[in-house]
Structure 1
Amino acid sequence: MMGEGPLPKITVIIAQKNHHTKLFQADTPEKNVPPGTVVDTSIVNGRHHNFYMCAHNGIIGTSRPVHYHVLVDEIGFGVDDLQQLVLSLSYVYQRSNSAISIVAPIAYAHHAAAQLSQFIKFEDYASDASSGEGVVPPVPELPLLNTDVQNSMFFC
């Protein structure tokens, strides 16, 4: 039914996990910041909508915030509303009863990619492409989903 009415508005956010920024409490630097800590001033780029969030409670000295970059915001979230949404999405991960470091949709994407790697060995594609032969091995047939879950959302 796409195209029959107004197109939905979207918001695109990039989450950067691997960086060298750590957050500490000013009065006790050996402790982690509390879960849900957001830094959206001072150390972020003032011209772009971005923020650091440490959504989870980690072992002492090990918590690393995630750097979120808002690329497109057609919906028009307020700054606080968007940060609250990101924090809420850190609590809805099925395999944990507390907040995780990154939002649940990204964690699920990591699991899906790991499961796909069980069926496709990407190293084979990289070695054939670099050999210059131009022959790409066929992609193996993926297993079919059970009919009970074909048209529904499910988590692995």
Structure 2
Amino acid sequence: MNEYDLAKGEGMLEKKHIDYVIDQYMEEFGLRYKPKITYIGYHRSHGVKFYDPTQRIAQLRNDTDLEGVKLNVRPGTVIDSEITNPNCFYFVSHETFMGTTKPAKYTIVCDEIGFKADNLLAIVYQLCRLMPQTKRSFRRPAPIGLAAKLLERCVTIKPDLFEKMEREQPFKIHHDIVNRPFYI
């Protein structure tokens, strides 16, 4: 899902599918509670970059050629006004050691919970710090990073996994590994 699809409202298709799956689960187990969910789109497929204006001014005054890293904005920088609509924000969650930092753009598709903006940013930032392989903040939230690694591992192990599988056919996992952790 890219920015154009989110703008067209395609994020709502995913929301409807997730709502359907949750409803089926609740019905199957006889549960009456309907959880509230916030749907957020994440993408980095854009050409937007931000620079620290104080560093840029210093570079122009001194006529020096600073490396791109020194011009980067600091981790934790949020851009949520002026160039974005009310349901979008850019967020730099990590420090770049080489080159220019590329912020992630988050689009709030639906907020049933009613988060305050600062609370939502705090959650996103904490999710970027949960990657088990590093102590540093990661460029994307852990659930997205781990899902990408798992998909890569699955395709490496079984390249034709998704080609032969029918859309409605459930994926069968061998009973010996169902309850064992899968390290990625």
The TM-score bracket by the shorter chain reads 0.7 to 0.9
| Match status 1:64 vs 2:88 | no
**Correspondence 1:42 to 2:45:** no
- Which of these residues, 77, 96, 120, is aligned with residue 159 of structure 2? 120
1:30-64 deviations in whole A, cap 9, x for unaligned?
42111111000011124xx1100000010254211
Secondary structure at the residue paired with 2:153? helix
CA separation of 1:138/1:154 partners in 2, compared to 1, >3 Å: closer, same or farther?
A: closer
Residues of 1 paired with 2:182 and 2:89: CA distance? 31
Q: Would the alpha carbon gap of residues 40 and 6 (structure 1) be closer, same or farther in structure 2, given more than 3 Å must change?
A: same
Aligned equivalents of 2:76 and 2:175: distance in 1?
37
Aligned to 1:32: 72
Question: What amino acid is aligned across from residue 26 of structure 2 in structure 1?
Answer: M
Matches within 5 A, 1:92-131: 92-118=130-156, 119-121=158-160, 125=163
Number of matched residues?
A: 139
Q: Is the Cα contact below 8 Å between 1:55 and 1:101 reproduced in 2?
A: yes
Q: Which runs of 5+ in 2 are unaligned?
A: 1-24, 57-67
* 1:120, distance to aligned residue in structure 2 (A): 3.0
Partner residue of 1:134?
A: none
1:56-89 superposed Cα distances (whole Å, 9 cap, x missing partner): 0102542110000010111110011001110110
Per-residue CA deviations over 1:16-43 (Å, capped at 9, x if unaligned) read: 1111000101111342111111000011
Is 1:53 the equivalent of 2:91? yes
Runs of 4+ in 1 over 3 A off after TM superposition: 152-155
1:23 is the counterpart of 2:61: no
Q: Deviations over 1:91-144 (max 9, x none)?
A: 01111111011111000010111012121337x94xxxxxxxxxxx468x8763
**Identical positions, percent:** 28
**Partner SS state of residue 113, structure 2:** coil
Q: Which residue in the other structure is 1:2 paired with? A: 26
Q: Unpaired runs of 5+ in structure 1?
A: 126-136
CA RMSD of aligned residues (A): 2.5
Residue aligning to 1:130: none
For residues 50 and 159 of structure 2, the distance between their equivalents in structure 1, rounded to whole angstroms, comes to 38
Q: Residue 40 of structure 2 aligns with which residue?
A: 13
* Paired AA for residue 100 in structure 2: T
